[in-house]
Structure 1
Amino acid sequence: MSSLAEYKTIKATQVRIAAERFYVLLDDGRELGIPYDWYWRLAEATPEQLNNWRLIAGGQGISWEDLDEDLSVLGLLEGRKGVKREIMSG
């Protein structure tokens, strides 16, 4: 039987940028491969912008400050995709 006390937050330890997707190495040994087109800011980014990432919240998230994109490890594990919101003008 599981209890809340046994719950462990899964964290990222590294990010690897490749041509078609980025890879997130998790502290439990798994590696996630995420297509850039799941997140429009990443899909439109230059290689330099993609490589300018940092882990945040002790590895619970990844931030691309230049792109104003923050992703949580939990969201990646759950398969949450980004949504591009269109701004309507007057």
Structure 2
Amino acid sequence: MRFEGERMWVGLSDGRVVGVPLAWFPRLRAASAEERERFEISPFGIHWEALDEDVSVDGLLAGRGDRRRVGGEAA
């Protein structure tokens, strides 16, 4: 996984690489590069403990971002 500008790129086990806009994930967008690098891989996706953020592979493939409310707006 890597971050470039306003995108997050995730390599999947089948060889595909999925690029999504950070605008889909406000917590990741607001995080520092160091905070973004502190993640764990789970059977379902990616987890950032300090940011309280979870990104599922299913959600990435379906084109879904963070569905929680952030700052009063639907993310």
Fold similarity call, TM over 0.5:
yes
Alignment of 1:29-68 (within 5 A): 29-57=15-43, 60-68=44-52
SS in 1 for 2:60: helix
Q: Say if 2:64 is the partner of 1:80.
A: yes
Alpha-carbon contact 1:40-1:84 (below 8 Å) kept: no
- Deviation track 1:8-55 (CA, whole Å, cap 9, x = no partner) reads xxxxxxx12323211110111100011111111111111111111110
Q: Which structure has the larger Rg over C-alpha atoms? A: 1
Q: Assess if the C-alpha contact under 8 Å between 2:6 and 2:29 holds in 1.
A: no
How many residue pairs get aligned? The number is 71
Alignment equivalent of 1:25, drawn from 11, 19, 26 = 11
Determine which structure has the larger strand proportion and give its number.
2
Q: TM-score with structure 2 length normalisation? A: 0.82
How many angstroms does 1:84 deviate by? 4.9
What is the CA RMSD across the aligned residues, in angstroms? 1.5
For 1:69, which of 53, 62, 75 is the aligned residue?
A: 53
Question: Structure 1, unaligned stretches of length 5 or more?
Answer: 1-14
The alignment partner of 2:50 has SS state of helix
